[in-house]
């Protein structure tokens, strides 16, 4: 009986994880389709995540609030790294 309860619990957990995966993937696929349209070439989800990372890095580098020079340097390094990843993936 205890093994059956564990199996049912694992099945529920797998179902919840699958539902969460579908819920997160759906907007990413929409953004990937948008990028594919704009770039006029197919873009997969991993490439979409790289592009989103580069956009976030650009935003935090160009539009910083009043912050320390060290933090601005870290954001600039993040941007450079993100752009190099995009170049490699695309």
1 three-state secondary structure: coil
pLDDT at 3: 57
Tell me if 85 sits within 8 A of 51, measured CB to CB: no
What is d(CA 24, CA 58) in angstroms, rounded to the nearest whole number? 23
pLDDT at 69: 86
pLDDT at 50: 96
pLDDT tens digit at each of 90 positions of the chain: 555 555 576 777 777 788 888 888 999 999 999 999 999 999 999 999 999 999 999 999 988 778 888 988 999 999 999 999 999 998
What is the DSSP annotation of 51-68?
HHHHHHHHHHHHS--S--
What is d(CA 44, CA 41) in angstroms, rounded to the nearest whole number? 10
How remote is the C-alpha of 90 from its chain's centroid?
15
Sequence-ordered list of residues with C-beta below 8 angstroms from that of 88, at least 6 positions apart, any chain: none
């Amino acid at each position: 009986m205890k093994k059956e309860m564990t199996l049912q619990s694992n099945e529920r957990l797998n179902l919840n994880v699958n539902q969460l995966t579908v819920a997160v993937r759906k907007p990413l696929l929409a953004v990937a389709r948008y990028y594919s349209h704009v770039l006029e070439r197919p873009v997969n989800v991993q490439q979409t995540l790289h592009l989103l990372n580069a956009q976030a890095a650009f935003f935090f580098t160009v539009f910083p609030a009043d912050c320390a020079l060290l933090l601005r340097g870290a954001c600039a390094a993040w941007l450079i790294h993100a752009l190099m990843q995009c170049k490699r993936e695309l």
